[in-house]
Chain A
Protein backbone atom coordinates (compact mmCIF):
# COMPACT_ATOMS: atom_id res chain seq x y z
CA UNK A 1 0.00 0.00 0.00
CA UNK A 2 1.12 3.58 -0.61
CA UNK A 3 1.52 5.36 2.73
CA UNK A 4 0.54 9.04 2.80
CA UNK A 5 2.12 11.19 5.50
CA UNK A 6 0.88 14.70 6.19
CA UNK A 7 2.58 17.46 8.12
CA UNK A 8 1.96 19.18 10.37
CA UNK A 9 -0.76 17.32 12.28
CA UNK A 10 -2.21 20.64 13.40
CA UNK A 11 -1.72 24.20 12.30
CA UNK A 12 -2.81 27.54 13.77
CA UNK A 13 -2.80 30.52 11.45
CA UNK A 14 -4.06 34.10 11.74
CA UNK A 15 -6.94 35.40 9.62
CA UNK A 16 -5.68 36.72 6.31
CA UNK A 17 -2.42 34.80 6.52
CA UNK A 18 -1.27 31.75 4.56
CA UNK A 19 -1.55 28.11 5.63
CA UNK A 20 0.65 25.41 4.13
CA UNK A 21 -0.01 21.69 4.50
CA UNK A 22 2.41 19.08 3.22
CA UNK A 23 1.76 15.54 2.02
CA UNK A 24 4.37 12.92 1.20
CA UNK A 25 3.72 9.58 -0.48
CA UNK A 26 5.82 6.47 0.11
CA UNK A 27 6.17 6.03 -3.65
CA UNK A 28 5.64 8.24 -6.65
CA UNK A 29 2.03 8.89 -7.69
CA UNK A 30 3.08 10.42 -11.01
CA UNK A 31 1.79 8.35 -13.92
CA UNK A 32 4.42 8.73 -16.63
CA UNK A 33 2.16 7.99 -19.60
CA UNK A 34 -0.01 11.08 -19.02
CA UNK A 35 2.26 13.11 -16.71
CA UNK A 36 -0.51 13.38 -14.10
CA UNK A 37 -0.08 13.15 -10.36
CA UNK A 38 -2.83 10.97 -8.88
CA UNK A 39 -3.29 13.10 -5.76
CA UNK A 40 -6.34 14.85 -4.31
CA UNK A 41 -7.01 17.15 -1.37
CA UNK A 42 -10.23 17.16 0.68
CA UNK A 43 -11.63 19.49 3.33
CA UNK A 44 -13.75 18.09 6.15
CA UNK A 45 -15.70 20.19 8.62
CA UNK A 46 -17.20 18.71 11.83
CA UNK A 47 -20.22 16.51 11.19
CA UNK A 48 -19.84 16.75 7.40
CA UNK A 49 -18.46 14.47 4.72
CA UNK A 50 -15.17 15.39 3.06
CA UNK A 51 -15.38 17.86 0.21
CA UNK A 52 -13.13 17.66 -2.85
CA UNK A 53 -10.87 20.71 -3.17
CA UNK A 54 -8.05 19.75 -5.55
CA UNK A 55 -7.44 16.83 -7.92
CA UNK A 56 -4.57 15.84 -10.22
CA UNK A 57 -2.48 17.57 -7.50
CA UNK A 58 -3.18 21.08 -8.75
CA UNK A 59 -6.60 21.30 -10.45
CA UNK A 60 -9.14 23.17 -8.39
CA UNK A 61 -12.63 21.68 -8.18
CA UNK A 62 -15.41 23.85 -9.57
CA UNK A 63 -16.68 26.31 -6.98
CA UNK A 64 -13.61 26.11 -4.76
CA UNK A 65 -12.19 29.58 -4.02
CA UNK A 66 -8.92 30.39 -5.73
CA UNK A 67 -7.40 30.92 -2.28
CA UNK A 68 -6.89 27.16 -2.35
CA UNK A 69 -4.04 25.87 -4.49
CA UNK A 70 -2.19 22.59 -4.84
CA UNK A 71 1.35 21.94 -6.01
CA UNK A 72 4.01 19.27 -6.12
CA UNK A 73 4.89 16.20 -8.11
CA UNK A 74 6.08 12.65 -7.64
CA UNK A 75 6.11 12.10 -3.88
CA UNK A 76 5.90 15.60 -2.36
CA UNK A 77 2.80 17.77 -2.44
CA UNK A 78 1.52 20.95 -0.83
CA UNK A 79 -1.90 22.48 -0.21
CA UNK A 80 -1.72 26.24 0.24
CA UNK A 81 -4.58 28.33 1.58
CA UNK A 82 -3.99 32.03 1.07
CA UNK A 83 -5.81 34.86 2.84
CA UNK A 84 -7.17 32.48 5.48
CA UNK A 85 -10.85 32.92 6.29
CA UNK A 86 -12.79 31.79 9.36
CA UNK A 87 -14.71 29.25 7.29
CA UNK A 88 -11.46 27.46 6.40
CA UNK A 89 -11.28 25.93 9.88
CA UNK A 90 -11.41 22.20 9.14
CA UNK A 91 -9.44 19.01 8.76
CA UNK A 92 -7.60 18.58 5.47
CA UNK A 93 -6.71 15.22 3.93
CA UNK A 94 -4.58 14.23 0.97
CA UNK A 95 -5.39 11.05 -0.94
CA UNK A 96 -3.52 9.05 -3.54
CA UNK A 97 -5.49 7.31 -6.26
CA UNK A 98 -2.50 5.96 -8.17
CA UNK A 99 -3.14 2.40 -7.03
CA UNK A 100 -5.60 0.48 -4.93
CA UNK A 101 -6.13 0.39 -2.06
CA UNK A 102 -6.48 4.14 -2.33
CA UNK A 103 -5.06 5.71 0.82
CA UNK A 104 -5.40 8.96 2.73
CA UNK A 105 -3.06 10.98 4.86
CA UNK A 106 -3.83 11.07 8.57
CA UNK A 107 -5.22 14.59 8.30
CA UNK A 108 -4.18 18.10 9.32
CA UNK A 109 -6.32 20.17 11.65
CA UNK A 110 -6.36 23.86 10.70
CA UNK A 111 -7.36 26.39 13.34
CA UNK A 112 -7.51 30.16 13.49
CA UNK A 113 -5.19 32.06 15.82
Chain B
Protein backbone atom coordinates (compact mmCIF):
# COMPACT_ATOMS: atom_id res chain seq x y z
CA UNK B 1 0.00 0.00 0.00
CA UNK B 2 1.61 3.22 -1.18
CA UNK B 3 1.05 6.28 1.00
CA UNK B 4 2.28 9.82 0.50
CA UNK B 5 2.43 12.03 3.58
CA UNK B 6 3.20 15.69 3.10
CA UNK B 7 3.93 18.63 5.37
CA UNK B 8 5.12 22.24 5.36
CA UNK B 9 4.36 25.79 6.44
CA UNK B 10 0.76 26.81 5.83
CA UNK B 11 0.98 30.60 6.10
CA UNK B 12 3.49 32.74 4.27
CA UNK B 13 4.00 36.43 3.65
CA UNK B 14 4.52 37.78 0.12
CA UNK B 15 8.10 37.35 -1.15
CA UNK B 16 8.80 34.42 1.20
CA UNK B 17 9.72 30.90 0.05
CA UNK B 18 7.20 28.07 0.15
CA UNK B 19 8.69 24.79 1.34
CA UNK B 20 6.87 21.44 1.32
CA UNK B 21 8.09 17.87 1.77
CA UNK B 22 6.44 14.58 0.82
CA UNK B 23 7.41 11.24 2.33
CA UNK B 24 6.68 8.01 0.49
CA UNK B 25 5.72 4.87 2.40
CA UNK B 26 5.34 1.48 0.74
CA UNK B 27 6.45 0.49 -2.72
CA UNK B 28 9.67 1.35 -4.48
CA UNK B 29 10.99 4.91 -4.59
CA UNK B 30 13.04 4.38 -7.73
CA UNK B 31 11.36 3.76 -11.04
CA UNK B 32 8.72 6.45 -10.62
CA UNK B 33 8.32 10.18 -11.07
CA UNK B 34 7.44 12.28 -8.05
CA UNK B 35 5.18 15.19 -8.78
CA UNK B 36 3.78 18.39 -7.28
CA UNK B 37 0.37 19.75 -8.29
CA UNK B 38 -1.55 22.68 -6.87
CA UNK B 39 -5.18 23.77 -6.74
CA UNK B 40 -6.18 27.35 -5.88
CA UNK B 41 -9.31 27.53 -3.71
CA UNK B 42 -12.37 26.70 -5.77
CA UNK B 43 -10.34 26.26 -8.95
CA UNK B 44 -8.77 23.55 -11.09
CA UNK B 45 -5.50 21.64 -10.98
CA UNK B 46 -2.10 22.91 -12.10
CA UNK B 47 0.92 20.68 -12.65
CA UNK B 48 3.99 22.24 -11.03
CA UNK B 49 6.70 19.76 -11.92
CA UNK B 50 8.28 16.38 -11.28
CA UNK B 51 11.49 14.60 -10.36
CA UNK B 52 12.72 11.03 -10.62
CA UNK B 53 14.91 9.14 -8.17
CA UNK B 54 18.08 10.19 -9.95
CA UNK B 55 17.17 13.86 -9.73
CA UNK B 56 16.02 14.57 -13.27
CA UNK B 57 13.43 17.35 -13.17
CA UNK B 58 10.80 19.02 -15.32
CA UNK B 59 8.89 22.18 -14.43
CA UNK B 60 5.90 24.14 -15.61
CA UNK B 61 7.24 27.24 -17.41
CA UNK B 62 4.30 29.22 -16.00
CA UNK B 63 6.14 29.33 -12.67
CA UNK B 64 8.97 31.31 -14.28
CA UNK B 65 11.85 29.38 -12.70
CA UNK B 66 10.57 29.94 -9.13
CA UNK B 67 10.06 26.24 -8.40
CA UNK B 68 12.73 23.74 -7.38
CA UNK B 69 11.99 20.07 -6.72
CA UNK B 70 14.59 17.94 -4.97
CA UNK B 71 14.78 14.35 -3.82
CA UNK B 72 16.31 12.56 -0.82
CA UNK B 73 16.42 8.89 -1.73
CA UNK B 74 17.87 7.93 1.66
CA UNK B 75 14.62 9.04 3.29
CA UNK B 76 12.23 8.29 0.39
CA UNK B 77 11.26 11.94 0.38
CA UNK B 78 10.98 14.71 -2.16
CA UNK B 79 10.49 18.42 -1.66
CA UNK B 80 9.18 21.56 -3.34
CA UNK B 81 10.50 25.07 -2.89
CA UNK B 82 8.73 28.00 -4.52
CA UNK B 83 10.40 31.38 -4.18
CA UNK B 84 8.99 34.91 -4.14
CA UNK B 85 5.43 33.82 -3.40
CA UNK B 86 2.45 36.11 -3.93
CA UNK B 87 -1.25 35.82 -3.17
CA UNK B 88 -1.62 34.05 -6.52
CA UNK B 89 0.34 31.12 -5.07
CA UNK B 90 -2.33 30.50 -2.43
CA UNK B 91 -3.50 26.95 -3.09
CA UNK B 92 -3.75 23.40 -1.83
CA UNK B 93 -0.50 21.72 -2.82
CA UNK B 94 -0.49 17.99 -3.53
CA UNK B 95 2.35 15.56 -3.97
CA UNK B 96 1.76 12.54 -6.19
CA UNK B 97 3.43 9.51 -7.77
CA UNK B 98 3.49 9.21 -11.55
CA UNK B 99 4.15 5.96 -13.34
CA UNK B 100 7.73 5.52 -14.45
CA UNK B 101 7.33 5.74 -18.20
CA UNK B 102 8.44 8.68 -20.35
CA UNK B 103 5.00 10.20 -19.67
CA UNK B 104 2.23 8.88 -17.48
CA UNK B 105 -0.74 9.28 -15.18
CA UNK B 106 -0.78 10.06 -11.46
CA UNK B 107 -1.50 6.94 -9.43
CA UNK B 108 -1.21 8.01 -5.81
CA UNK B 109 -1.75 11.41 -4.17
CA UNK B 110 -0.90 12.95 -0.83
CA UNK B 111 -3.59 14.47 1.33
CA UNK B 112 -2.78 18.04 0.33
CA UNK B 113 -1.52 21.10 2.20
CA UNK B 114 -3.25 24.46 2.11
CA UNK B 115 -0.69 27.20 1.72
CA UNK B 116 -1.97 30.74 2.20
CA UNK B 117 0.04 33.79 1.18
CA UNK B 118 -1.07 36.92 2.98
CA UNK B 119 0.53 39.99 4.43
Q: Identify the A interface with B (CB < 8 A).
A: 38, 40, 42, 49-52, 55-56, 61, 93, 95, 97-107
Contact = CB atoms under 8 A, between A and B. Distances in A.
A51 B112 CA distance: 13
A50 B45 CA distance: 9
Nearest to B60: A101
Given A38-B103, A107-B44, A100 B58 contact: yes
B119 interface: no
B106 interface: yes
Interface residues of B, number: 21
Contacts, number: 53
B61 interface: yes
Question: Secondary structure at chain A's binding surface: helix, strand, loop or mixed?
Answer: loop
Interface of B: 44-47, 58-62, 94, 96, 98, 103-107, 109-112
A55 B105 contact: yes
A10 B72 CA distance: 41
A102 B44 contact: no
Contact of B106 (A52, A56, A101, A106): A52
A48 B57 CA distance: 27
Contacts of B112: 49
Contact of A50 (B58, B103, B109): B109
Contact of B46 (A97, A100, A104): A104
Given A38-B103, A49-B94, A97-B104, A102 B109 contact: no
A99 B60 contact: no
Given A52-B107, A55-B105, 7 more contacts: A42-B106, A51-B109, A95-B106, A97-B104, A100-B60, A104-B47, A106-B44
B107 to A, nearest CB: 6
B60 A40 contact: no
A100 B59 CA distance: 8
Contacts of B60: 100-101
A56 B104 CA distance: 9
